[in-house]
Amino acid sequence: MATSEQRHGRMRDGREPSEPLTQDDIVRQLDAAILEHLHWMLRWNRSAVCKVQPAGDITSEHAHFLCGFGNWYDLHQQDPLIAQPAFEALALAHRDLHRNAAWLAGRAWKDAKIPVEEYDVLTEKVTRFTDLARKLLKAFQKVTSDLDPLTGAHTRQTMTRELMRERERSLRSGKPCMLAMGDLDHFKQVNDTHGHQAGDMVLRLVAAAFLEALRPYDRLYRFGGEEFLFCLPDVTPEAAAQALERLRRRIEEMQVPIGGGRTIRVTCSFGIASLSGETPVKTAMQRADKALYAAKEAGRNRVMIWTPEIG
């Protein structure tokens, strides 16, 4: 069902139809949906109790499209963050709620009394929708709190604990796990020459390339500034170096738009160390950082694996 917002190329939330959602967008929308349906239920009750004809958005057969959440979901349901079973369940509960409310509202303002059991069914549907929305909101809030808002990489808040868990898994399974430090070369010059907005664009697009290249069970952390840490389970040092070399070339070939029709090129250096065996997490991170420093010293824009000689 195409809406006027889609036909005119812009959505009710102000986003372009092709613009992907962020975790923060979803948190804001779910929070708004809960409040919206609280006010909606008050309007429904006012009509039923005061015997006032309900508004059309309550009684319409398309009522679930006429509220903010329904319109938003209809426009964004193909977005990768929305196309999941939990959101499908929420959308079904939402549609069921509005259909039942529309049917009952048509009688409630006219009849002297509606059966208690029919009103109880409606309140159960409202409660189900609200409970599902709150569970989803809580889940996305938890994810959002651990994501860097600029790059989408994980923050350092839970990094050490997660790396310790990966090290223990590597010890149990006997499979290798690699850490890699990646750092943009001459990033200060980007900020000094083109401004911090250009620097933010570089970080955003480079991080997007990092995330796109990762496997589902890899992890990316924004370690600080323009420095990122990769956790790469079940991979040898040589295989990790090959994967990062491909990523290095991809970054080298990117043309980053910085406004005014201008683009710039950037490069990145990487250092790799093993998280396997008896090596503590802190030591593995220090080794990856030393390998990164060696890559910088060797001329930047390259991948290096830690060896005792580097240490």
Rg (CA), the chain: 26
Phi, psi of 157 (to 5 degrees): -60, -45
Closest CA to 218 of 183, 247, 178: 178
How many Å apart are CA 125 and CA 78, to the nearest integer? Answer: 25
Both tokens assigned to 86: 């939990």
How many Å apart are CA 238 and CA 112, to the nearest integer? Answer: 78
Both tokens assigned to 252: 């080298």
Helix (H) or strand (E) holding 173, with range, is helix 159-173
Q: Which residue has the tokens 């009394």?
A: 113
How many Å apart are CA 69 and CA 82, to the nearest integer? Answer: 13
Kindly provide the b/e burial profile for residues 181-213, where b requires at least 16 CB atoms within 10 angstroms of the residue's own CB: bbbbbebeebeeebeeebbebbbebbbeebeeb
Both tokens assigned to 208: 């997007």
Amino acid identity at 221: Y
Of 61, 118, 226, 245, which one is the catalytic site residue?
226
* 226 in active site: yes
Q: Which residue has the tokens 């958005």?
A: 57
Amino acid identity at 80: P
C-beta separation of 166 from 229 below 8 A: no
Closest CA to 122 of 47, 28, 71: 47
Return the active site residues.
Answer: 226
